[in-house]
Amino acid sequence: MKKCFFCGKEKVHEDDVMGFCDECGLKIWGPKMLKTIKDNYGKARDDDDLVHMDTSSTLKMLRAGAGAKEGISTREKKFA
């Protein structure tokens, strides 16, 4: 199991392309929008159209105080 992005609990199945649990998804988007999100993720996965990115190097630069000259915007830095 993986941890949910929102609650941090290990409720997300390893093969699930979404990074959040159903409980948080329902609280945030409601049942209709969550179903739409899941359907779209599932279709993208089936079409092999998902992009998986390793953000660890970006996060490492942000935590080290990297800024715009290293290619990281102020907005991204704010959320690190």
Whether pLDDT at 79 is above 90: no
DSSP helix, strand, coil percent of the chain (3-state; round to 5):
50, 5, 40
pLDDT at position 41, please?
86
pTM: 0.55
Question: Is residue 76 scored above 50 in pLDDT?
Answer: no
What per-residue string of b and e applies to 37-52 under the rule 16 or more CB within 10 Å gives b? Answer: eeeeeeeeeeeeeeee
In this prediction, residue 45 carries a pLDDT of 82
Interval 25-67: pLDDT, tens? 999 999 999 999 989 988 888 888 776 655 566 666 666 665 5
Question: Can you tell me whether residue 47 is helix, strand or coil?
Answer: coil
What pLDDT sits at residue 75?
Answer: 52
